[in-house]
Amino acid sequence: MNSERRSAVPLKTILVVDDEREVCEIISDALTGQGHKVESASDGIEAVEKIKSSEFSIVVTDMDMPRMDGMQLIEYIVHNHADIDIIAITGHLMRYKYTEVVEAGATDFITKPFTINELEAKLNRLIRERSLREQLSKLAVRDPLTGLQNRRSFEENVRKEAIRTTRYQHTLFLFFMDVDNFKKYNDLYGHQAGDALLIETANLLTNSIRENIDSVFRYGGDEFVMLLPHLPAAQALSVAKRICKKFDLLNLKPTSLSIGIASFIERSGTIEQDIQDMIQRADTALYTAKKGPGKNGVFVDERSR
């Protein structure tokens, strides 16, 4: 029975907050028995310190506590850790109305006295809903054909990388890539073959980046982009040429791969303007690369060399 429940419900890291030590231990033991990783705190102040230093998916908190009560803790979590779900517990139904607690940001509400089965049922339902949200979120930023992150995800990630680049003063290169003669390939071999080519290209690019450092995206159609932080200019050119050679080895005639390269340059404008400037320069570099004889070229933006 327990093993079936554990396999059906994804395991989470949970923080239990209650100033009654016995209650805290009972809840913690029950959730640990389900297979979850559980930590505990005696009030909101201690809970905040633990949330700052560790990652939690869910907080189960009492409402009446010294120093910082449950409502204050909920408000802190909502404003600083919006990805954490909250189950509120109270023995004072008249003091804390369900609607008030939920409007404050709690995902669910349970009233003392309660059974462990009641808590487990609410927790399991919350976890299933959370898992569904995570799946939908992944689908929203993934290209369904290639499995790469999509243009929407690129727009989110390029801003994050640009902020890091500005803060830590390291390099950031953007590759704009385009499959040459893709329409001709589709006309010759059909759209299924064209889709297969895009999938193969996506796999090649994924295998050409540094894991957990670089990122690759399908920008649209037969266009792909890469973000490569912490990379010297000479090495950026070398990586691009190596990718083109790998593509040639696929022998997908009459196609080839062209790449335009630009680096992030901090100017007097806003970070959004600097990002758009980098994108425009990479796009122009790609256009220049495709103008060469036989296309299949790499061109580095002049300001990025």
Q: Of the residues 222, 274, 283, 301, which is catalytic?
A: 222
Handedness of CA 60, 62, 65, 67 (dihedral sign): positive
The tokens 């990388």 sit on which residue? 161
* Angle subtended by helix axes 191-206 and 233-249, to nearest 10: 140
19 tagged catalytic = no
Count the neighbouring beta carbons within 10 Å of the beta carbon of residue 54: 11
Q: Of 91, 59, 92, which is closest to residue 76 (Cα–Cα)?
A: 59
Q: Cα–chain-centroid distance for residue 239?
A: 25
Q: Cα–chain-centroid distance for residue 130?
A: 15
| Structure tokens belonging to residue 3 | 């093993």
| Structure tokens belonging to residue 10 | 């994804």
Active site members: 222
